[in-house]
Amino acid sequence: MSKLPKRDGAWRVAVIPGDHVGKEVIPEALHVLDAVAPLCNIPARTECFPWGSEHYLSTGSVMPQDGLDRLRDYDAVLLGAIGDAARVPDAVMSWGLVQRVRKGFDLWVNLRPARLRPGMISPVRNAQSFDVVIVRENTEGEYSGAGGRIHQGFPHEAAVQTSIFTRSSVERVVRYAFDLAKSRPRKRLTSVTKSNAMNHAMVLWDEVVSEISRDYPDIRVDTAHIDAMVMYLITRPHHFDVILASNLFGDIVSDQAAAIQGSIGLAAGANLCPSGTVPGMFEPIHGSAPDIAGRGIANPLAAILAVSLMLQDFGEAAAADAIERAVDEVLVDGNVRTPDLGGNSSTRELGGEVVAAIGGRST
The residues carrying an active-site annotation are: 143, 194, 227, 251, 255
Yes or no: say if 14 and 71 are a contact pair by the CB < 8 Å rule.
yes
Question: Cβ(132)–Cβ(242) under 8 Å?
Answer: yes
**R_g over Cα of the chain:** 20
Question: How far is residue 94's CA from residue 89's CA, in Å, rounded to a whole number?
Answer: 9
CA dist 242 and 148 (Å) reads 35
CA distance 316 to 46: 16
CA angle, 205 as apex, 105 and 278 as ends, to 5°? 10
